[in-house]
Amino acid sequence: MALPDRPAERHRQVAGLFTERVLGARSWDAPAPVAGWTARDVVRHLTDWLPGFLAAGADIDLPHGPSVDEDPVAAWQVHRDGVQALLDDPGTAHRELANPHIGALPLATAIDQFYTADVFMHTWDLSRATGQDDRLDPDFCAQLLGGMEAMEQVMRSSGQYGARVEVPGDADVQARLLGFIGRDPSWGSG
């Protein structure tokens, strides 16, 4: 089932799946597919970077929950709800986010392109770290991969993505996306 195109609805579905994985986690100290990260660090990453991005680029202060160290489930839920409320707010349609690296974008578009896509990809990391279903929407995998391949050099030079992991030529689109962002699609499965 394809994800919706509207940023608020796409976030609702993507964050909803991530929430299922958060609620299903049994060991927050389990290693994750990102080198040096644990399951808790996946949640920390998602709850830590967006508030600064929104504050600097749109003068928005998201609600603060407990720390990820204290309660990763509640930290994620407060964060998720704050982002969703922002996307559901009719006033967001008229707001912009400005950033020296990306220019000015409609706020909902910036959240969708940078944050919701990040939650989507990190759902695989948390799923693998915690031994849960790691299947991602193939249509959105293809959409993200197509967009990122067109700007690979810029992405690699940002330091936000690891070296590409080669996957077999007949790999499915999820494995190709994971390989592109520097993940070994077979991590933890053996």
The two three-digit tokens of residue 187, written as one number? 């991590």
Instruction: pLDDT tens for the chain, 190 residues: list them.
Output: 578 889 999 999 999 999 999 999 999 999 999 999 999 999 999 999 999 999 999 999 999 999 999 999 999 999 999 999 999 999 998 999 998 888 899 999 999 999 999 999 999 999 999 999 999 999 999 999 999 888 887 777 777 777 889 999 999 999 999 999 999 999 985 4
Q: How many domains does the chain have?
A: 2
Around Cβ 131, how many Cβ atoms within 10 Å? 14
The verdict on residue 21 lying in a domain is: yes
Report which residue type is found at 136.
Answer: L
The verdict on residue 188 lying in a domain is: no
| Length of the chain (residues) | 190
Q: Same structural domain for residues 129 and 164? A: no
Dmax of the chain from CA atoms?
49
Q: Same structural domain for residues 104 and 15? A: yes
What pLDDT is attached to residue 131? 97
- Nearest residue to 14 (alpha-carbon basis) of 68, 98, 87: 87
Which residue range is the domain that position 173 belongs to?
A: 137-182
The verdict on residue 2 lying in a domain is: no
Q: Same structural domain for residues 146 and 87? A: no
Report which residue type is found at 105.
Answer: L
Considering the entire predicted model, what is its pTM? Answer: 0.94
The verdict on residue 187 lying in a domain is: no
